[in-house]
Amino acid sequence: MTFDKFNRRIHLYSALVLVPWFLIYGFSAIYFTRPIGHAPKWTVRIDR
Amino acid sequence: MYIALVLTPWMLIYGISTILMNHRAFFKKHYGGDLVRWIKDKEQPYGGRFSAGAGAPMMAEQILRDLHLEGNYYTNLSKASRKLTIFRNDLVTPRRITYTPADGKLLIEKQEFRAQPFFERLHRRRGYENRYMLDTAWAVSVDLAIFGILFWIASGLWMWWELKVTRRAGVACALAGLAIFTLFVFTI
C-alpha cells in the first residue's frame, strides 16, 4: 500500500469513527454563538 | 477542499486551543499557579465626571474612550460602588482597568502574553451580543467555520458511500464511533 492510499484510508476511517464528535461540536457551536432558546428549567425532585 | 483551505486558520485555532483547554492543569503547573498574570501598566489620576445615574457600562465606556482603549469589554461594579473593574477583551493583550472613585485613580494592568490563555481567548471569542463591527465580523467567520464542519460531515459521508471498496469497513468504523460516543453520553 502506498503512503497516499494509507493516508486516504486513515483520513476516511478516522473521520467515520469521529462523526458523532464532529456533529456535536458543529451543532453545539451554533448554540454558543447565538442566544437561541432558554436556559433549561430545573424541576424539584426532592425537597426535604 | 477550497472551504477547508480558507478555514485552515480557524480549524488550527480550534484544534490547538481545545488541546490546551483539555490540559489546563498541566499549564497551571507550567505557569506556576495561575494561567494568567496581570502586570501593572500604569496608574494615573482620573478627572472624568460621570452623568448622574450613570451605570457601570456607561462609566466603563467613558473611561475606555478617554484611555483610547475602546472595544469589547465587560465590567463589574463592586458593592457600594467602591471599585469599578473593566476587562478589555483584547485577543493579544487583554487589559484590566480598575477605577476607584474614592481617590479618583485608574490602575491599568495588562495580561502577560502566554500561549494557553491566548488560544483559549481565541476559542471562546464568539457571539453577536456586542455592538462592535469587528466582533460581529469574527462571529460571522465562526459561523462560516461551523458551516464548514457540518458541510464536511455531509460531503465526507457522501464521498465515502461512493467508494464501494471501503463501504464495509467504513460502516464498522462509523458504528464503532457511534457506540463509543453513546456509551460516553449515558455514562459520564
> Which band of pLDDT confidence, cut at 50, 70 and 90, is reported for residue A4?
confident
Question: What does DSSP assign to residue A41?
Answer: P
% of chain B with per-residue pLDDT over 90: 57
* Probe site for chain B from A11, A12, A16 (most B CB atoms < 10 A): A16
Closest CA of chain A from B24, distance in Å: 20
Mean pLDDT of A18-41: 84
The predicted pLDDT at position B48 comes to 80
Interface predicted TM-score (ipTM): 0.72
Which of B90, B96, B93, B91 has the alpha carbon at shortest distance from B43? B96
Chain B segment 105-134 residues within 8 A of A by beta carbon are: 126-129
> Which band of pLDDT confidence, cut at 50, 70 and 90, is reported for residue B53?
confident
Q: Does A30 touch chain B (CB under 8 A)?
A: yes
The predicted pLDDT at position B99 comes to 92
| pLDDT of B133 higher than 90 | no
Flag if B127 and A32 touch (Cβ within 8 Å): yes
Q: Write out chain B residues lying below 8 Å of A14, CB-based.
A: 173
pLDDT in tens, B138-171: 989 999 999 999 999 999 899 999 888 899 999 9
Q: For chain B, what are the domain ranges?
A: 38-113, 133-188
**Paired strand residues for B74:** B87
The predicted pLDDT at position A8 comes to 87
Helix (H) or strand (E) holding B153: helix B133-162
Q: Write out chain B residues lying below 8 Å of A1, CB-based.
A: none
Flag if B163 and A23 touch (Cβ within 8 Å): no
Residue B93 in grid coordinates: 493583550
Distance of alpha carbon B10 from alpha carbon B142, whole angstroms = 8
The predicted pLDDT at position B68 comes to 92
Distance of alpha carbon B122 from alpha carbon B31, whole angstroms = 19
Closest CA of chain A from B115, distance in Å: 23
* Residue B89: C-alpha distances to residues B126, B138, B182 (Å): 12, 13, 37
> Which band of pLDDT confidence, cut at 50, 70 and 90, is reported for residue A16?
very high
Q: Does A1 touch chain B (CB under 8 A)?
A: no
| pLDDT of B4 higher than 90 | no
Q: For chain A, what are the domain ranges?
A: 1-33
